[in-house]
């Protein structure tokens, strides 16, 4: 087995092709079960998902080319801007063993998977697959004109052992000026991620949904100890998801 490189933190990624969506789920109670006891979901129960592709190794400081879909719950706490919800990873499907090893050390529930973003005319289709089988498919209408460049920090919370860890992820993204989510399909009812499927009719949160053909960010993977994760219903401390 090839030994994976030991990467220094943080890691920089530039110019990824990124589709970010957020919605109200069909079953908020089922979604909450993915959270450690010490965390509470946002009042609206929102789910977020990021489907993106890094096309070449030259776009990273060590990760190499990869694709990723991660998904989880908005929390009742906030990123450094005091307005954007902090978020918890429930699923993380990554094509690169290098990236999976890096994030798993930091409490991210990394598993193998592939994401493809295909743009034809003004229709963008993002397909997340596991073991070669499509798992999630998103279709959006987009323009090719950049409407605004945004920057800031997102905050993602992970669980390492019995501790919660928060990481601030700075980003700069160029967002297209026209964007409309047409569908988000969860294709495998037998997979645990199906619990996070959208309500019908689809209720998108526009402020947290966008397409960026060039999105850059830093991957710290966790820098702030947020305290104990809590105790499970069986009375045992929660274990690391890595």
pLDDT of residue 227: 87
pTM score: 0.93
Question: Which residues neighbour 222 within 8 Å (Cβ) at sequence distance 6 or greater?
Answer: 106, 107, 158, 160, 165, 166, 167
> Is residue 75 reached through a cis peptide bond, with omega within 30 degrees of 0 on the bond before it?
no
Q: How far is CA 62 from CA 9, 14, 223, in A?
A: 10, 12, 19
pLDDT of residue 233: 40
Classified as helix, coil or strand, 94 is strand
pLDDT in tens, the chain (242 residues): 567 888 999 999 999 999 999 999 999 999 999 999 999 999 999 999 999 999 999 999 999 999 999 999 999 999 999 999 999 999 999 999 999 999 999 999 999 999 999 999 999 999 999 999 999 999 999 999 999 999 999 999 999 989 999 999 999 999 999 999 999 999 999 999 999 999 999 999 999 999 999 999 999 866 788 889 886 543 333 333 32
Nearest to 106 by CA among 70, 154, 158, 63: 158
Q: What does the CA dihedral 189, 90, 105, 16 come to, rounded to 10 degrees?
A: 90
pLDDT in tens, 153-166: 999 999 998 999 99
pLDDT of residue 5: 83
Whether residue 211 contacts residue 148, with contact meaning beta carbons closer than 8 Å, is answered with: no
Burial class (CB in 10 A: 0-12, 13-18, 19+), 29: exposed
pLDDT of residue 220: 82
Q: What distance in Å separates the CA atoms of residue 182 and residue 153, rounded to the nearest whole number?
A: 27
Question: Which residues neighbour 2 within 8 Å (Cβ) at sequence distance 6 or greater?
Answer: none
Pairing of strands 163-176, 133-142: unpaired
pLDDT of residue 6: 85
Q: What distance in Å separates the CA atoms of residue 104 and residue 94, rounded to the nearest whole number?
A: 11
């Amino acid at each position: 087995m090839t030994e994976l490189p030991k990467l220094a933190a943080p890691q920089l990624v530039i110019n990824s092709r990124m589709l970010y969506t957020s919605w109200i789920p069909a079953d908020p109670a089922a979604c909450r079960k993915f959270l450690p006891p010490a965390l509470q979901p946002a009042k609206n129960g929102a789910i977020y998902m990021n489907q993106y592709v890094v096309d070449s190794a030259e776009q990273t400081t060590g990760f190499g080319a990869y694709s990723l879909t991660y998904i989880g719950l908005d929390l009742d706490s906030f990123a450094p801007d005091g307005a954007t919800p902090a978020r918890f990873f429930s699923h993380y499907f990554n094509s690169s063993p290098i990236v999976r090893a890096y994030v798993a050390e930091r409490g991210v529930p990394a598993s193998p998977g592939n994401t493809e973003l295909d743009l034809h005319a003004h229709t963008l289709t993002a397909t997340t697959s596991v073991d070669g089988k499509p798992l999630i498919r998103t279709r959006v209408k987009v323009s090719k004109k950049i409407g605004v460049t945004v920057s800031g920090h997102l905050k993602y919370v992970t669980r390492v052992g019995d501790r919660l860890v928060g990481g601030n992820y700075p980003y700069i993204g160029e967002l297209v000026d026209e964007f409309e989510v047409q569908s988000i399909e969860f294709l495998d009812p037998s997979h645990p991620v199906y619990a996070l499927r959208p309500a019908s009719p689809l209720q998108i949160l526009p402020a947290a949904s966008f397409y960026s053909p060039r999105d850059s960010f830093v991957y710290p993977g966790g820098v702030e100890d947020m305290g104990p994760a809590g105790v499970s219903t069986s009375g045992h401390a929660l274990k690391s998801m890595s």
